[in-house]
Chains A and B, each alone.
Chain A
Amino acid sequence: MLARSCLRSTRAFAGARNGAINFSKRAASSSSGSAAEQSPLGLNIAAVASTAVAAGSIAWYYHLYGPTAHAMTPAEEGLHPTKYPWVHQEWFKTFDHQALRRGFQVYREVCASCHSLSRVPYRSLVGTIMTVDEAKALAEENEYDTEPNEQGEIEKRPGKLSDYLPAPYKNDEAARFANNGALPPDLSLIVKARHGGCDYIFSLLTGYPDEPPAGAQVGAGLNFNPYFPGTGIAMARVLYDGLVEYEDETPASTSQMAKDVVEFLNWAAEPEMDDRKRMGMKVLVVTSVLFALSVWVKRYKWSWLKTRKLVYDPPQASNTRH
């Protein structure tokens, strides 16, 4: 880098000298001004000196601030996830709700033992993943606090559709205590909250190697995952072939489960996506039609101006009447 900048500076130097010569020539040729009295040598020296000062100050500045400091090693950044062709991320595609249903099953049977999904109420499952009766039955499996009764006691009641999915731990401290100090993050917005979104989570879930590569340092109680920033992740590999049994008899391979649960988590983060995309399609079509119409109308309104011709015919001297 320094060598290159030196090279550049000499080039700039040469150019400056040429410029100086030109300038001196021009100055000599013009008759006015006191510059003509200076000798070309003096001008050359001045140019060389000022160029040297400029190049030197640039070099000094670069020496001080130039080289980029990388705070993190590539291992600390984590491996970039592969880009997968998610169908539900295409412009005009909804979620595959069958996959959402499978993904919710994976979440309930696998993820929910550690991760909460606290921003998703049962009522939002109705009409996207389950029927009303299924959701009600699911809600009633869990107990929730009532409002204080007349004695001020808080009792338990079965869940209702307006309740939110229960968390596996009472609070963050309990979660940390149960997991060797590592807090399993809430998964409600995890797709939005992580760089790479769906690709990252899919890569993370399927990216556990059988053994850490040679030379990799894995801390106590941690597992090696190249996609996780820092490569040491407290969560162990959880998805294995055949771990859950899908009700629609889809083969439950590791990647199938990971794909389904990622799509489900994307739904949890963006439950409005289907409606949003449908509205977006309508808006795009209508605005493109409007644009075409407005181009036509503009041409129509301007046509009288664009097709006229103004003639200015100045009177000739012989024709002027006095």
Chain B
Amino acid sequence: MPQIDQMFEIWSSQLFWLLITFGFVFFVIGRGMVPKVMDTVGMRDKQIADDLAAAQAARDAADEAEEAWRQRENANREAAQDLVNKAKAKAQKSTDTKLAKVQAAIDTQLEEAEARIEASRKEAGAEIEAVATEAAQDIAKRLAGVKATKAAAKSAVKEAMSRV
């Protein structure tokens, strides 16, 4: 086994050249290049994290804007609804007043007409009474030969008419 056979003649050379080559690897590659490579990786990770954070922030802002828009929209809709309701109420009120006015006019006309009818009827009733009284007097004179006074005839007519 050359590793053992040659040990005493080669160990110093092995040690020397290993220290030189490994020293180069450690100081130039390990200390010099590896941190830079890891920096690059770290920078990339940071960049990705930053981009993700920015995207998240933008998304949050968009959500917020949408929420605000929604609230504004709801308020607008409510206001519009309110306006419509108010207009409806107003229209209803004006209709009601107009109707009431017309109703009142109709009522007065009706009352007047009724009063007129009542007056006519009374007038007619009085005329009938007068006619009936005269007729009753006449009838009594002709049939019984009794001369009934106007007052008696009138009361008899009244009594008869109230029975009708």
Real complex partners, A and B? no
